[in-house]
Structure 1
């Protein structure tokens, strides 16, 4: 479903206090921006923001940064941010390709990838957020025990991701191909997409990948 453009969306984003401007200037300084030394978790492709705002509300001692490259999606996410008085969440409008320009080595403790674009054609595999080119970027910004949490409704993308992550040498944990049929989904926070897919009976796959390299 295509989203309609929101009038003055660029202006709304440019003046919103939760949207970070000149984000590359804060590399290595994010704890100063949040004014604390709490862990930093990021979500790449935050969509309308339900997932990250719920996490921020439930975990006040963790700082959250959401990435969204599409203006018309991000402007809708801002409504979720406005509904809660959350001091531990910020958002950035940019492509994940530039993530190394935003964070220094070891600055992030967790990365969430929720229902990323599967880029189904083989020639587009490098655009998938679990391709080893992105894993290399994540490895640099994650802390020594940092991890990736990945969810998708796309079976092919999940199998590709599982193989790619294992091939890269990371430890894979908590693998499930039907999150909502077992206890693994007990503490799960659903995104807007996830709610839709679950209501349609589509199984959700999930895994966690630990930066610790296997010997």
Structure 2
């Protein structure tokens, strides 16, 4: 994905601390203090422009959400969505997913969402996929016992390799759809990519897995 540089993005992120967490490491093990409640915490890794995480937060006020995005030029659009929707139970983090253990302690997170992640189709790049075993270990180390991963993609190859990765890691597959939009699944919140791909007729794949 080619990103358009937005040199003003960093300053805008810094000017909105009510949504963008400047020093997330200070809340490790005590995220309830930031949100001011004891609600479960769900995180979306690769939150993009923020449509999913703000939609989920709006639909589920009893759950806290954090959208995590590496690129400033992308997460600034998620910030715009947060400002537009003004939902109190959503925050943003501009960090790398491989560093999650710096910000979350074991049991801090109840669910991880992975939506339309980069497929990294070449075999030599498999370790970069967010469903690779090294990432699954990171998620396990921040999730509650029997925590969940919910995964969506339009890429069949990534979906198949991810299901294999989940199985080899020993995760329990609790839901799978090979064509989400033609299924009876209720409560689906679409991402921007999902709207775009499904409008073109692309099939959307979805799975839910749980740590044992």
Regarding TM over 0.5, the answer is: yes
SS of alignment partner, residue 146 of structure 1 = strand
Cα distance in 1 for residues equivalent to 2:60 and 2:100: 24
Task: Tell me the secondary structure at the aligned position of residue 173 of structure 2.
Answer: strand
Residue matched to 1:196: 196
Counting only pairs closer than 5 Å after superposition, residues 1-215 of structure 1 correspond to structure 2 as 2-17=2-17, 18-184=19-185, 186-212=186-212
C-alpha displacement of 1:3: 4.2
- 1:24-70 per-residue CA deviation (whole Å, 9 max, x = no partner) reads 12110111111110000000000000000011111111000110001
Separation (CA, whole Å) in 1 of partners of 2:55 and 2:76: 18
Matches of 1:146 and 1:3, distance apart in 2: 33
- Output the CA distance in 1 between the equivalents of 2:3 and 2:83: 20
Structure-2-length-normalised TM-score: 0.97
TM-score by length of 1: 0.95
Consecutive unaligned residues of structure 1, counting only runs of 5 or more, are none
- SS of the residue corresponding to residue 183 of structure 1 reads coil
**CA distance, structure 1, for counterparts of residue 54 and residue 41 of structure 2:** 14
RMSD: 1.1
- How many residues align structurally? 211
Task: Find the aligned partners of 2:4 and 2:208 in 1 and give their Cα distance.
Answer: 34
User: Which consecutive unaligned segments of at least 5 residues does structure 2 have?
Assistant: none
CA distance in 1, matches of 2:191, 2:113: 12
